[in-house]
């Protein structure tokens, strides 16, 4: 395993590896990055690795021969990561060692929003009007051609960071300046200064969860998404399965399958493809060649019994994933996130009276004393609540009702 997110996947993936009867070696350039994220008094699950090795995971050319030497001693059967910033590195390592996985070029193209746009457009897949530039004069000209309002994005960040709705040239300047002030990502990698401008799409957003093995892409299902925090695009909640008509579900699934095929992501990939169901038909927002974040994998597991973290481990080992659906007793599951709208210190957030409410599957809340930042991406949540519904598609309403109760007791000073 080469690096990891520090959120839920940093726990789900080690668990899936262990429950599958496997062991792993963890490569990281900064172990303290993970130790800091573990609850006080507990060991981080990543420390369950058989070996923890420090290596400069940001220097791919130096890392490849180092991993080859480790392979000679330890005999790896697969290579994996949950962190978007290291997916191309993992694909390069797998290719170098002759291990299972998608092609490095396919992964790199999926991880670059501008390359994804070009490839999907070249494959004839309908999408928003878009342009990619670095210079201000080129950006303003392209923005006028696309037309305001539009969306401005960095080409190489994730979690919604710096993705903004832009209504005029002044707002475009604010986004461009903010990106210029963020030249290195959170993992110390130098960023590409290009800015992607896209036509603002209408309609609800969903994601299609898929598992690819041996040239076949298996659709697990479609998840819905609620978004807030304008002009940012912050994910405020999800429900699986999405409450869609059969026609919209089929359209979303077929669009995701076409996109994955165009990018060459048909083997060794668990993917999370985000799609807007616009008035003109489905349009791809982005393709993520890794399992969904924000607890979506757990929503899927609660409803279908399918463990996408375990499937991720299986396909990384070149093995057929177990995608059998089992009776879980739930027809829908949803998660809602507590999104702060102001900066300060968390004084009070009490969910004790809600933890045992009907249908609650999980509740995780920040502790008083936490420094709070007004949310600009999916990185500033103060907690989440997950609910299930055994009778139908009522899980989202339950989650949103509980969130309203949590907000009523939220105090930030």
Q: Where are the domains of the chain?
A: 8-99, 129-199, 203-328, 329-412
Instruction: Domain 129-199: state its class.
Output: alpha beta
Q: Is 228 helix (H, G, I), strand (E, B) or coil?
A: strand
Domains 203-328 and 329-412 equal at CATH topology level: yes
DSSP 36-91: TTSPTTS--GGGGSSEEEE--TT-HHHHHHHHHHHHHHH--S----S-GGGHHHHH
Bridge-based pairing of strands 269-278 and 281-288 is antiparallel
Has domain 8-99 been given CATH number 3.40.50.20?
yes
DSSP state of 410: -
- What does the pLDDT average to over 304-311? 98
- CATH assignment, 329-412: 3.30.470.20
pLDDT digits (tens, 9 = 90+) for 328-349: 999 999 999 999 999 999 999 9
- 163 or 356: which leads in pLDDT: 163
Task: State yes or no: pLDDT of 110 exceeds 70.
Answer: yes
pLDDT at residue number 42? 73
Integer angstrom CA distances of residue 216 from 45, 99, 234, 265: 32, 18, 32, 10
Task: Give pLDDT tens digits for 4-60.
Answer: 998 889 999 999 999 999 999 999 999 988 888 776 667 788 989 999 999 999 999
Phi, psi of 247, rounded to the nearest 5 degrees: -65, -45
Is the domain 203-328 a CATH 3.30.56.10 member?
no
Q: What is the mean pLDDT of the chain?
A: 96
* 156 phi and psi angles, rounded to 5 deg: -140, 25
Q: Which whole number is the average pLDDT over 90-96? A: 98
Question: Tens digit of pLDDT for each residue in 365-378?
Answer: 999 999 999 999 99
Stretch 311-321: mean pLDDT: 98
pLDDT of residue 84: 97
How many distinct helices (H) and strands (E) make up the chain? 12, 17
Q: In the prediction, which pLDDT does 41 show?
A: 63
Res 43: pLDDT: 77
Instruction: Label residue 222 left, alpha or beta by phi (over 0 means left) and psi (-120 to 50 means alpha).
Output: beta
């Amino acid at each position: 395993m080469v690096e990891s997110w520090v959120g839920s996947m940093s726990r789900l993936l080690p668990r899936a590896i262990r429950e599958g009867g496997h062991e792993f070696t963890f490569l990281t350039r900064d172990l303290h990055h993970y130790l800091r994220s573990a609850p006080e008094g507990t060991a981080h699950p990543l420390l369950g690795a058989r070996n923890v090795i420090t290596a400069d995971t940001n220097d791919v050319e130096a890392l490849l021969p180092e991993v080859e030497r480790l392979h000679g001693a330890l005999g790896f059967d697969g290579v994996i990561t949950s962190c978007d910033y290291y997916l191309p590195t993992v694909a390069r390592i797998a290719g170098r060692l002759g291990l299972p996985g998608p092609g490095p070029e396919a992964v790199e193209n999926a991880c670059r929003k501008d390359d994804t746009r070009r490839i999907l457009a070249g494959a004839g897949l309908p999408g928003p009007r878009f342009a990619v530039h670095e210079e201000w004069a080129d950006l303003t000209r392209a923005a006028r051609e696309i037309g305001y309002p539009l969306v401005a994005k960095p080409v190489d960040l994730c979690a919604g960071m710096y993705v903004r709705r832009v209504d005029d040239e002044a707002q475009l300047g604010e986004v461009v300046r903010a990106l210029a002030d963020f030249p290195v990502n959170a993992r110390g990698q130098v960023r590409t200064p290009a800015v992607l401008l896209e036509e603002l799409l209408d309609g609800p957003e969903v994601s299609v969860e898929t598992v690819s093995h041996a040239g076949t892409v298996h659709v697990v299902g479609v998840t819905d998404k609620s978004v807030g925090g304008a002009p940012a695009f912050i994910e405020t909640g999800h429900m699986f399965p999405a409450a869609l008509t059969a026609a919209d579900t089929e359209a979303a699934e077929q669009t995701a399958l076409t996109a994955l095929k165009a990018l060459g992501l048909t083997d060794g990939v668990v993917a999370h493809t985000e799609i807007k169901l616009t008035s003109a038909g489905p349009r791809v927002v982005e393709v993520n060649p890794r399992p969904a974040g924000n607890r979506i994998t757990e929503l899927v597991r609660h409803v279908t019994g399918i463990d996408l973290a375990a499937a991720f481990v299986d396909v990384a080992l070149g093995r057929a994933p177990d995608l059998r659906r089992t009776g879980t007793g739930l027809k829908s599951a949803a998660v809602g996130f507590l999104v702060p709208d102001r900066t300060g210190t968390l004084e009070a957030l009490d969910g004790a009276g809600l933890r045992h409410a009907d249908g609650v599957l999980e509740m995780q809340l920040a502790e008083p004393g936490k420094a709070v930042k007004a949310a600009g991406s999916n990185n500033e949540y103060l907690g989440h609540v997950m609910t299930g519904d055994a009778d139908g598609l009522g899980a989202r309403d339950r989650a949103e009702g509980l969130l309203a109760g949590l907000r009523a007791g939220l105090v930030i000073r």
